[in-house]
Structure 1
């Protein structure tokens, strides 16, 4: 398991687990449900540009941390892409 996901009445909480917490420089992401547009299983996102890393880790198929692409900030915590889930947010930095 790379991330622990907690669903509360008001928030989606994603917490990197183990060394992923260290590599991603992130304790947890907490997002109000009103800011979650949707989530999809998307192994094809491997081909999408990841941008530049900062802070975080990029090593082979392992991405963990904050990446900046196309003027947007993205959080990644994946090891390979077969089981990748993309969560789209609105009104979040």
Structure 2
């Protein structure tokens, strides 16, 4: 598992696990639920050009850290073999998060249900 993701109070909390903290150059992300537009599963995003990494890691089959493309910043922490959870953000440092988690479909449903309130 690359990330532990929790909904705590009015925030989404992402904690990279194990060595991924080092590769992602990020120990924790906290995003207010008000700044989440939605979440989807999109494995195709792993086939697209991610942009320039700054800072981060990009080795075949594993992407972690900040990637910049078209004046947008995306945080990746995922292995190619994982289901890609994409969380769209607004008014945040990142435009989106692309994460590998234990149960991606459950997380997507949970996020989308909470932000509808």
After the TM superposition, which parts of structure 1 deviate over 4 Å for at least 4 consecutive aligned residues? none
RMSD: 1.0
* CA distance, structure 1, for counterparts of residue 83 and residue 66 of structure 2: 19
- Matched with 1:23 is 23
After TM superposition, the score normalised by the length of structure 1 is 0.95
TM-score (norm 2): 0.76
Structure 1: 5+ residue runs without aligned partners?
Answer: none
Larger strand proportion, structure 1 or 2?
1
Tell me how far 1:46 sits from its aligned partner: 1.9
Which one has the bigger helix percentage? 2
Matched pairs, number:
93
Which segments of 5 or more consecutive residues in structure 2 lack a partner in the other structure?
Answer: 94-117
